[in-house]
Amino acid sequence: MNEIESYYSGVVAVIGAPNAGKSTLLNRCLEQKIAIVTPLPQTTRNRIQGILTGDNWQMLLLDTPGLHKAKETMNKEMVRIAMEALNEADVALLLADASYDARRREKRREEYLAWIEQVRCPVVLALNKTDLVSREQLLPLIEWHSALHPFAAVVPISALSGEGVKELLRELVSRLPEGPQYYPADMPTDSTERFIAAELIREKIFLRTQQEVPYSTAVLIDAFQEDAEKGQAVIHATILVERDSQKGILIGKKGAMLGSIRKSAAKEIEEMLGRKAQLHLFVKVRKDWTENTQILRELGM
């Protein structure tokens, strides 16, 4: 009689500073786009769960908002979401940016230590963006980071190119506890199509607008319906802003900016859904919505 093979499953919480590459890493691991990515810090606002399944294991990979010193209500909620993910974690994955110069690394030292102090599970360090540093720089960088904490493993990676990611996944899988399979093997995330559609719209706003505008916007999906006759999804979404001037920037001259956002977002939504999507966007001013806890709850924060 063959012995039944053990099954391993657990939660891996990905934490790190804004722009460390957490969302890029999640998308790389899943080999598809689930989390939005922009060059701007604090793009991720909610916890996003990716689901990776192997022959005898399943990993729930939590992409979290970047940890930072928060002052505004929305930013405090973002940090809370990230820290709460650590309470659920079987393994914590600290993502550090290898491209920081010595001054920026030292500036982050106390922050790294403060985050690690709150972790009650094994911590794996992924030193990301190694494609931006030379081989001669790599060993001193590993030594500097290794001195911070007795990490369970230290893995140099490039989430952008994929270098080192397979090795990182092996390290994480080896530390999963025994447990059941929680989701079907072909399910990449528990995020709804509505949520991902809203995030894709928000990503286009981040990529096309500047200064305070991206951070003062939120996207609410008002309706997500199927038109069976035409074989397409019909989506109505509202973009919230805090001021009239921001509304003007988002709409643009003769609606050009909003049209560009709509067209670009619709294309990616169609790729996600695997069918045509008719996207309708509206812009509304809700003064100081980033300080409104009711609206933040509606956004899932």
* Class level of CATH domain 193-298: alpha beta
CATH for 8-173 is: 3.40.50.300
Amino acid at 271: E
Q: How confident is the model at residue 1 (pLDDT cuts 50, 70, 90)?
A: very low
Name the nearest CA neighbour of 26 among 37, 17, 18.
37
Check residue 68 and give its pLDDT: 58
- What is the value of pTM for the model shown? 0.86
* pLDDT tens, residue by residue, 239-250: 999 999 999 999
Q: Which pLDDT score is estimated for 296?
A: 83
Element (H, E) at 117: helix 102-117
Tell me: pLDDT of 87 over 90. no
The pLDDT, as a whole number, for residue 2 is 46
pLDDT of residue 94: 93
Mean per-residue pLDDT, 105-125: 88
Predicted pLDDT at 38:
83
Axis crossing angle, helix 256-273 with helix 244-251, rounded to the nearest 10: 70
**Residue 231: pLDDT over 60:** yes
> Which residues pair with residue 42 across a beta bridge?
none
pLDDT of residue 70: 60
pLDDT at 133 over 90: yes
Residue 11 has a pLDDT of 93
* Residue 100: pLDDT over 60: yes
Does pLDDT of 3 surpass 60? no
CB atoms within 10 A of CB 222: 10
**155: Cβ–Cβ under 8 A, 6 or more apart, which residues?**
124, 125, 126, 127, 164, 167, 168, 171
Please give the backbone phi and psi of residue 177, each rounded to the nearest 5 degrees, phi first: -75, 165
Where is pLDDT greater, at 177 or 18? 177
Domain residue limits, the chain: 8-173, 193-298
The average confidence (pLDDT) of the chain is 90
Note the pLDDT tens digit of each residue in 39-60.
877 787 777 889 999 999 999 9
What is the pLDDT at residue 177? 96
**Burial per residue of 105-124, b for 16 or more beta-carbon CB atoms within 10 angstroms, e otherwise:** beebeeebeebbeebebbbb
State the greatest distance between any 2 C-alpha atoms of the chain, in Å, as a whole number.
73
Quickly state the pLDDT bin for 118 (edges 50, 70, 90): confident
Local confidence band at 71 (pLDDT 50, 70, 90 cut-offs): low
pLDDT at 194 over 70: yes
Could you give the CA distance from residue 100 to residue 156 in angstroms, rounded to a whole number? 14
Q: Exposed e or buried b for every residue in 1-10, given b needs 16+ CB within 10 A?
A: eeeeeeebbb
